Structure 1
Amino acid sequence: MAIDRDQLAAAFEERRPRLHAIATRLLGSGAEADDVLQEAWLKLDRVDPDEIESLDAWLTTVVSRLSLDVLRSARVTRNDPWAVDVWEDRPSSAPDPAAVAAGNERVAVALTTVLDLLGPAERLAFVLHDVFGQPFDEIAEAIGRSPEAARQLASRARRRLRGTDAPARATGPRGRAVVEAWLRAVQEGDLSALLGLLDEHAVLRADYGATSVRLEGADEIAASATTAAHLASHSVPVLLGGRPGVAAVLHGRVVSLLAFELDDHDRIVGLDVLADPARLAGLDLGAALDA
C-alpha cells in the first residue's frame, strides 16, 4: 500500500528525536543538527517512499552523510589543523610528560569536546556504532567505504579517545617514513609507489581559496600527484596540527600545506591540502621554514 505524504511526515517526526541526537552528537551543535534534519526531510520529500526498503536505515544514512559533509567543510576551513610545527626526530623510549598530561586532560573532558580530536570519518564511525549501535555495513554506506574500513575507523577512534599511543605513532618514525616515501614517489613520478601508499578509498580535499577540489580513490589521487614533482622537490616534512604533513616552500614562502591521515597499517586514507595564498600568508610558521 502506497504511503501518502502525511504518513511520511508522521514517520519522519516519529524518528526525529533519534536523528537529532545522532546529528547533535556528530556535530556538537543543536542548531547545525536542526539544519541537517531540515535538509534530510527535503530529501525524503523528493523521493518515492515505496522505493525505500528501510526508512530507519535510509534516514540514518542521509543524516550521517549530511553531517559528514558539515564536518569535512569545517575541517577545511578551521585554522587549528594547519598549525605548523617542526618535525624533530628525537629517539626516546620515555613518553613526553607534557604529551601524557595533555592526553589525560583530553580523556577527562566531556565527550563532545573530545570528539573534536577525531577526523570526520572516525567521528561518524565511532558515534554511529559505539553510541547508537549502527551496524558497520550501514556505516560503510554512509561514509562511502567498506565495512572493514568503517570498523577500523571506529577502532582507531576508540584508541585516540582513550589517549593511547596511536596518534604518537602516526607522528613518529613510521609516520615520517610515509611522508618521505610520498615525497620521493611524487618527485620520481612513481605511480606504482604512490598507489602502494594510498588506501583504495582515500580522499583528497584541497582548498585553493577561490576554488576547492575533491579527489576520491587511490588512482585519481596518485595520477594527480605525479604532476607535482617540482612542488615535492621543494617540500619539507612538518607536523600540521599534530598530523604528519609537508610544507612546500618556494623562494622562502610557503605555497601549500599537505596533511596526511593514516590508518592502522600506515596507509594514507585522507589528504588535506591548503593552498589558499590569503590563509597561508597569515600562518605563523616559526622555525618550520628552516627545516
Structure 2
Amino acid sequence: MSTPSSESSDTLGAPYEPRDDRLDPGLSAIMSERRQLINVAYRLLGSLADAEDVVQETYARWYAMPRERRDEIASPGGWLTRVASRICLDLLGSARARRESYVGQWLPEPVPDHREWADARSGGRAADPADRVTLDESVNMAFLVVLESMTPAERVAFVLHDVFRYSFAEVSEIVGRTPAACRQLASSARRRIRAADAPAPTPAAQRAAVVRSFKEAWEAKDIGALVGLLDPDAVGVADGGGLVSAVPLTVGSEHVARQLVMIINRVPDLTILERTVNGEPGLVIEHEGAVASVVAFDFAGDRIRRFWSVRNPEKLRPWTTG
C-alpha cells in the first residue's frame, strides 16, 4: 500500500489550511484536537501517513459546514473524533483488499520518539506538539501487529473503548451498531490479543540491555552471541513494499542469526543506532547516511522472540532528517 505523507498526498488533496483565527475565535480550540485525532487515527490504521490524511480530511469536513451548523455542535472535539473514526473505519474496510496486492509482508509504520520526531519533521527546529503520537503500550509494534488481525469493526470498537475510554454508546454511533454489539466486538478483539500469547512484560531497562547486546553481536558478526539473545523460535519479518529488497520471513534462532550476519557481510558499511521505536528500545539502520531500516522488537524475558524490520522508504519518512 502506498502511503504518501500529507505534505504530498494526492489522495485527499493539498494540506487544508483553516481560516485565520482572528476571523474564527474557536480555531485554537478546534486545532488543539489535532494531537488526539492523530493518536486515534494512527492506532486505528497503523499508518502515520494515512492518519495525517484522515485528520486533514476531518478538518476539511468541519470547515465545509456553515458557521451556524458548527456553532450548534456542543462538543466539537467529540464531533471531530467521530468523523475521523468513521473515515478510518471506511479505510480499514478497503485496506485488506489493498494489502492483498502489497508486495511482501505489510507492517505498521514505525514512529520515533518526540525528540526524534521533531528532528525528522523540522530539521531540528521545534515540531508542533499536535503532530506527535503519544508513545505508550497501545502503540508498540507487537500490539499494532495484533490489531491487524482484527476486523475493522473490532479494531475500532476495541481501540476507542479500551484504549481511549469512549463509552460503548459513543462507539455505537461510529460503528453503526448497538452498544451491546460494540461490547461484543471489543470482547472478540480482547480474545484475539490473548490468543497472541504475549509473555509477561520484560522490564524496560532489561529490554534496552538486550537490544544493545543484540546490536553489538550483530556488528561483531557473532552468530553464537546472536543465537543466545534470540528465542529458539524467534521470528524475523521484513517489509520492503516491493520498493527495496527484504529478506522473507525467517524462523528459528540460528537461521535468523545467520541471515543477520549475511546482511551485514553483503553491506559492510551499515551503521546501527539504538533508537526508541514506537515507545520501545529498537534500532535504526543507516546506509551511506540514509535511514535504510527501522527495527522493532518483541521480548520473552531476556530474549528476543520477534522483530520487525521496516524497509519500505515510504514508511520511513518520519525518520528522514534531510
What is the TM-score normalised by the length of structure 1? 0.45
What is the TM-score normalised by the length of structure 2? 0.41
Q: Which has the higher helix share?
A: 1
